[in-house]
Amino acid sequence: MNSNDTIELFKKYVIANYGRYPVNLVRGEGSVVWDSEDNRYLDLFPGWGCNLLGHCPPKVVKAVQDQVAKLIHVPNTWHMEAQGLWAKELSERSFGGQAFFCNSGTEANEAAIKLARLHTPKERYKIITFEGGFHGRTLGSLTATAQPKYHEGLGPLVAGFNYAPYGDLAAVEQLIDEETCAIMVEPIQGEGGVRIPPAGFLEGLRKLANENGLVLIFDEVQTGCGRTGHWFAYQHFGVTPDVMTLAKAVCGGIAGGAMLTTTEIAPSLRPGTHAATFGGNPIASVAGIATLQTMEEDNLLASAKQLGDYFRTRFEQLQQECNIIQEVRVLGVMVGVELTVDGAPVVQKCLERKLLVNCTQGRVIRLLPAMNLTMEQAEEGCKILEDVLKSLAAE
**Alpha-carbon distance 338 to 348, whole Å?**
16
Applying the rule CB under 6 A, the residues between 333 and 362 that interact with ligand PLP are none
**Alpha-carbon distance 8 to 12, whole Å?**
6
231 dihedral zone (left: phi>0; alpha: psi -120 to 50; beta): alpha
Q: Strands 335-339, 243-246: parallel, antiparallel or unpaired by DSSP?
A: unpaired
Lateral strand order in the sheet of 180-185: 98-102, 257-261, 243-246, 215-219, 180-185, 126-130, 161-164
Is 195 one of the binding residues for ligand PLP (CB under 6 A)? Answer: no
Is 136 one of the binding residues for ligand PLP (CB under 6 A)? Answer: yes
Is 57 one of the binding residues for ligand PLP (CB under 6 A)? Answer: no
**Alpha-carbon distance 28 to 35, whole Å?**
9
Among 117, 126, 135, 366, binds ligand PLP (CB under 6 A): 135
Applying the rule CB under 6 A, the residues between 230 and 289 that interact with ligand PLP are 247-248
- Tell me whether residue 83 or residue 109 sits nearer to ligand PLP (CB atom): 109
Among 30, 54, 190, 204, binds ligand PLP (CB under 6 A): 190
- Residue 267 CB, nearest distance to ligand PLP (Å)? 25
Which one of the spans 100-108, 283-291, 316-324, 365-373 is the region binding ligand PLP (CB under 6 A)? 100-108
Which one of the spans 60-68, 103-111, 172-180, 322-330 is the region binding ligand PLP (CB under 6 A)? 103-111
Which one of the spans 53-61, 101-109, 158-166, 297-305 is the region binding ligand PLP (CB under 6 A)? 101-109
**205 in Cβ contact with 219 (< 8 Å):** no
Residue type, 36: S
- Residue 7 CB, nearest distance to ligand PLP (Å)? 24
Query: Please, is 357 exposed, middle or buried when counting C-beta atoms within 10 Å of its C-beta (0-12, 13-18, 19+)?
Result: buried
Among 45, 125, 130, 134, binds ligand PLP (CB under 6 A): 134
- Residue 197 CB, nearest distance to ligand PLP (Å)? 14
Which one of the spans 82-90, 150-158, 217-225, 325-333 is the region binding ligand PLP (CB under 6 A)? 217-225
Lateral strand order in the sheet of 355-356: 25-29, 32-35, 40-43, 355-356
Is 105 one of the binding residues for ligand PLP (CB under 6 A)? Answer: yes
Is 192 one of the binding residues for ligand PLP (CB under 6 A)? Answer: no
- Residue 248 CB, nearest distance to ligand PLP (Å)? 6
Max Cα-Cα span within the chain: 63
Task: Give the H/E segment covering residue 317.
Answer: helix 300-321
Q: Rg of the chain over CA atoms, in angstroms?
A: 21
* x/- letters, 149..188, toward ligand PLP (CB under 6 A): -------------------------------------x--
- Residue 128 CB, nearest distance to ligand PLP (Å)? 16
In the DSSP assignment, the letter for residue 196 is: P
Task: Give the H/E segment covering residue 114.
Answer: helix 105-119
Q: Which residues of the chain form contacts with ligand PLP (CB under 6 A)? A: 104-106, 109, 134-136, 186, 190-191, 219, 221-222, 247-248
